[in-house]
Amino acid sequence: MKKTHILGIVIIAIAIAAILSTLADSSTYASFSVAEAEPSKTFHVVGKLNKEKPQEYNPHVDADLFSFFLVDNEGKEKQVQLHKAKPQDFEKSEQIVVIGKMNEGNFVASDILMKCPSKYNNSSEDMKAVTSQR
Amino acid sequence: MDIQYIGEQLLWGKIGNLLVFTAFTAALLSAISYFFSLRTDDKSWRKLARQAFAIHTISITGIFALLFYLILNHRFEYVYVWEHSNTIMPLKYILSCFWEGQEGSFLLWMFWHCALGWVIIATAGEWENGVMFVISLVQIFLASMILGVVILGYKMGNNPFVLLRDHPDFANLPFIKMPDYLSKIKDGRGLNPLLQNYWMTIHPPTLFLGFASTVIPFAFAIAGLMRKKFTEWIKPAMPWTFFGVMILGTGILMGAAWAYESLSFGGFWAWDPVENASLVPWMTMVGLAHVMLIFKHRKRSILSNFILAIVTFFFILYSTFLTRSGILGNSSVHAFTDLGMSGHLIIYMFFFVALSAYLLIKNYKALKETHEEEHLSSREFWMFIGMLVLVIGCLQITFTTSLPVFNKLFSLNLAAPVDAIDHYNKWQVPVAIFICLLIGVGQYFKYKKTEWKEFRKKITLSLMLSLLVTGLSAFYLGEYRVHYYILFFASTFAVIANASYIFTVLKGKLGNSGASIAHIGIGLILMGALISNSKKEVISRNLKNVDLGKDMPNKENIMIEQKVDTLPMGNYYVTYSKRETQGVNVLFNIEYFQLNPQTGVKEKQFELKPFVQLNDRMGNVAEPATKHFLTKDIYTHITYAEIEKPQSRHTEDEHEEEYQPAKNQMLAIGDTFITSNSFVILRSLKKDLDRNDFQLNDSDLIVGADLMIQDINKKIYESLPVFVIKNFSIYTKSTSVDELGLKFEFSKIDPATGKIELSVSEKKSNKADFIVMKAIIFPGINILWIGCLLMIIGSVVAIRKRVIQNMNSGNSTEK
């Protein structure tokens, strides 16, 4: 067998390993009910902030704990305990992704991603605002 | 309905549209003419082609100038101007408006293609026809991205000269019917605050020049296939490949510098999909540069040359697709907006893949090489292995980055790994180790065959030295993962072996040591990345917290009250002294002190001013501040601050000021409690008060709470709130200490325990201003930046050498 053939086989083997490891490491987008069924696993949950319910951030007590209520895309609501400082302009977020797991009825999140509507693509909202200023 | 709009300047838009169409048509004409010029070798075709390309270049430059003029003059009747600029923006950021939007960044990219095209026309000689044919083809596609015409119901591209009132998003809004709508638009939407940074004025142009430079080796490869000159293209394409490696590398590193200076994630590299999308083509281009060297010296690896040139360009297209189709969605901080171009981009990508694949398959037989295998001790063998290691690294990065694409293709629900950095490092640390070892030994191998004995002799010293350095480093690095120690050793070896190569083999001739200098740079970059990442120390330890284990680092943010707190962080004591507003920025003064062991006094070392940029539309953005030392950086970032600060609520009349809700304290004599600015002690209960003040009878009761109040400067105040029972009714007389903004009311007595209830109110302004911050020490980050510089310098030296060699037309006799 030639060296090139050996190399080819090695590369294919490593490529397969890369694919498998990515699949093994990757998380899944899920709803709260799925996360509840598998409390040991970490999930990405997409949802919207419930602005009616209280948000708690009390840095005097703990600067790394922020809790709020999130309604997932299936309409299920859970309290999220985010172990980070309260993000800037949290209230403005349109869509939220929290990364973590379920624990005793609460979702314990290690990270958060927010999509702010104002950042992009709401030109028409802005224009409405402009033209209503008589 | 014809409305006469007031104040619009429509002429510029008309000229602009004309230029856009001219640019597109001229690119088309140029491609066709170059194609026939290539086929017939007729000089008149080439003349036509050059003229068309000249018109194309003038049009692109004209569009650029026109857009610049419109932004400078705030012509908000044009959507692009309104979306990306505003009137308060400083001049230096006006250029940044170009690359915030998709249309502008396509323009920039096209502009670089034009510039590089003219260098090709001037220098490429017989290759001009083929190379310029491919470049013109690419320009047709890029120009179609800014055409903005509707063909068969499909809107092709986005025109930068669309009027606000013609934009489909605003189709039914009332302002369209107002003739004077322009006077109502006070300002544009302005630039994304993240882009208002000096790195952002130079990073995108450099990165796009890097992107543009990848088209040239690709164009040479395609031209080589079309002209059936399967090997001759490599030599003229080589300096371009080195140029691309340098520029794209510089662009990526500038992006890293931007992320380090002004993004909040704390670091220079986060394996963000957009970062990956530009890193991957750089890695394949480095691979290409090395197989080109193999070809130059050994006339082999021709197929690899073709494949890598094509793959590099493909990855540029793929990265364009990833960042501009909106497919990354939530997974990246800096992907562009979806402008409905994904179909267009896919066609673009597949056209060039199909073209390359067709030409490769057609000529496959001629490309097949038959010669004896490379010797294990030959330089070409190990260079080839190095290229393969890079490709493996690319495969892994591309696969993980493409998860959103797989989700779309196979309707899956996969999300990025929770600990993305860990996931990538698992793969890329071994890749980096292999690369460093190969960089170290590479040049000690000779082409064809090396005497092992001689090789060992030359390499031993570097090897021993690196082992020694690694051994000594253990004192500093301490407990450390094994593979980090291996990477430390490998990168040290890469640096030492290449440095010794310059002195022992090249005898210090710097003109020839481009490769070695660049390799030292790579070694230092990896070493700096390793040290600063693995030994970074979050010194803002939040100790008020429950331990959630390694997976949930929840101890990184700390709260500081203004003027009150002095918190120990690492070797420092940190205070928050004041905040000030400068324009749209709110700056926070963070002062770092160090204890002088002789005097026991905390001496101020430096202060940092991280800030929050206020932006109503896009949300406030916090920008860190970093103190740079030779051996470490101290990064300080505001993670939370109440922007409407309590002090601003001061009213003219102090007495009008509202108090916060009262807090009740149950106290026995001698008890102490704390307010936000003082200690309060209940010294005694006084009963011998003047009863006449309240016209009390003997059966009535009067008690005063004798309070001693001590503020943070140890100043003492006294206060005596009074509790009265008169005719079985309760009265109280509250007292206040105005200096401290405190109000006390003696509200109850518990006869059973003798305790009293004191209700304490504080003025709202008493609530101390506070911030939540994060501080990280990055050691050794300067090793990384020095490495970057060396890599760039080394590449420049190497390019210079190649260009000189090519000018001396072929009689290069390198050892």
Q: What CATH number did the domain enclosing A78 receive?
A: 2.40.50.140
CB contact under 8 A, B184 and A4: no
Quick one: pLDDT band at residue B543, thresholds 50, 70, 90? low
As given in the structure block, the two tokens for residue B346 are 């896919």
Asked if residue B230 has pLDDT above 50, the reply is yes
Q: For residue A99, what is the enclosing H or E element?
A: strand A95-103
Of B179, B185, B7, B194, nearest to B79 (Cα)?
B185
CB contact under 8 A, B423 and A25: yes
Asked if residue B651 has pLDDT above 90, the reply is no
Query: In the prediction, which pLDDT does B501 show?
Result: 92
- Integer Cα distance of B386 and B393 in angstroms: 11
Quick one: pLDDT band at residue B547, thresholds 50, 70, 90? low
Across the range B310-330, mean pLDDT stands at: 85
Comparing alpha-carbon positions, the chain B residue that sits nearest to A93 is B619
Across the range A63-87, mean pLDDT stands at: 89
Q: Are B254 and B203 in contact (CB under 8 A)?
A: yes
CB contact under 8 A, A123 and B618: no
Q: Is A18 on the interface with B (CB under 8 A)?
A: yes
Most confident segment among B150-154, B329-333, B472-476: B472-476
Q: Where are the domains positioned within chain B?
A: 1-191, 194-374, 417-535+782-815, 558-642+770-777, 657-740+751-760
- C-alpha angle A75-B331-B336 in degrees, rounded to nearest 5: 115
Least confident of A12-16, A126-130, B386-390, B692-696: A126-130
Spell A87-126 as b/e; 16+ CB within 10 A means b.
bbbbebbebbbbbbbbeeeebbbbbbbbebebbbebbeeb
- pLDDT (tens digit, 9 = 90+) per residue, B397-415? 999 888 888 888 888 788 8
Instruction: Please state the domain count of chain A.
Output: 1
Question: With contacts defined as CB-CB under 8 Å, which chain A residues touch B544?
Answer: 61-63
The whole-angstrom distance between B400's CA and the closest CA on chain A is 6
Q: Is A61 on the interface with B (CB under 8 A)?
A: yes
Across the range B759-780, mean pLDDT stands at: 82
Q: Is A19 on the interface with B (CB under 8 A)?
A: yes
Instruction: Enter the pTM of the model.
Output: 0.83
Q: Are B203 and B255 in contact (CB under 8 A)?
A: yes
Burial of B542 (0-12, 13-18, 19+ CB in 10 A): buried
Question: With contacts defined as CB-CB under 8 Å, which chain A residues touch B553?
Answer: 110
B10 vs B466: which has the higher pLDDT: B466
The whole-angstrom distance between B170's CA and the closest CA on chain A is 6
CB contact under 8 A, A113 and B330: yes
Question: With contacts defined as CB-CB under 8 Å, which chain A residues touch B169?
Answer: 123-124, 127
Q: Is A130 on the interface with B (CB under 8 A)?
A: yes
Residue A16 in any domain: the answer is no
CB contact under 8 A, A18 and B622: no
Asked if residue B545 has pLDDT above 80, the reply is no
Q: Is B548 on the interface with A (CB under 8 A)?
A: yes
B799 vs B8: which has the higher pLDDT: B799
Residue A4 in any domain: the answer is no
Least confident of A18-32, B437-451, B687-701, B713-727: B687-701
Q: Is B340 on the interface with A (CB under 8 A)?
A: no
Its domain, for residue A71, covers 29-122
Asked if residue A121 has pLDDT above 80, the reply is no
Query: In the prediction, which pLDDT does B813 show?
Result: 40
Most confident segment among A84-88, B102-106, B289-293, B799-803: B289-293
Query: In the prediction, which pLDDT does B87 show?
Result: 80
Q: Is A6 on the interface with B (CB under 8 A)?
A: no
Burial of B669 (0-12, 13-18, 19+ CB in 10 A): middle
Burial of B343 (0-12, 13-18, 19+ CB in 10 A): exposed
Task: Give chain A's mean pLDDT.
Answer: 79
Question: With contacts defined as CB-CB under 8 Å, which chain A residues touch B416?
Answer: 26-27
Across the range B233-254, mean pLDDT stands at: 94
Q: Is B418 on the interface with A (CB under 8 A)?
A: yes
Query: In the prediction, which pLDDT does B787 show?
Result: 95
Q: Is A86 on the interface with B (CB under 8 A)?
A: yes
Residue A11 in any domain: the answer is no
Of A124, A68, A123, nearest to A96 (Cα)?
A68
Across the range B696-710, mean pLDDT stands at: 85
Smallest Cβ–Cβ distance between B415 and the set A27, A64, A126 belongs to A27
Query: In the prediction, which pLDDT does B662 show?
Result: 79
Q: Which of B183, B330, B336, B556 to mutate to test the interface with A (most CBs of A within 10 A)?
A: B330
Query: In the prediction, which pLDDT does B654 show?
Result: 44
Comparing alpha-carbon positions, the chain B residue that sits nearest to A127 is B170
Burial of B657 (0-12, 13-18, 19+ CB in 10 A): middle
CB contact under 8 A, B403 and A22: yes
B749 vs B371: which has the higher pLDDT: B749
- Integer Cα distance of B48 and B54 in angstroms: 10
A50 vs B49: which has the higher pLDDT: B49
Across the range B728-744, mean pLDDT stands at: 83
CB contact under 8 A, A63 and B618: no
Residue A130 in any domain: the answer is no
Across the range A7-29, mean pLDDT stands at: 84
Question: With contacts defined as CB-CB under 8 Å, which chain B residues touch A127?
Answer: 164, 169-170, 173, 175
Smallest Cβ–Cβ distance between A26 and the set B174, B385, B403 belongs to B403
Q: DSSP string of A21-74?
A: HHHHH-EEEE-HHHHHH-TTS-EEEEEEE-SSS--EE-TTT-TT-EEEEEEETT
The whole-angstrom distance between B354's CA and the closest CA on chain A is 24
Question: Which ipTM score applies to this complex?
Answer: 0.81
Q: Which of A106, A113, A127 to mutate to test the interface with B (most CBs of B within 10 A)?
A: A127
CB contact under 8 A, A22 and B556: no
Q: Which of A38, A56, A130 to mutate to test the interface with B (most CBs of B within 10 A)?
A: A130
Query: In the prediction, which pLDDT does B232 show?
Result: 93
Question: With contacts defined as CB-CB under 8 Å, which chain A residues touch B192?
Answer: 119
Of A68, A58, A92, nearest to B614 (Cα)?
A92
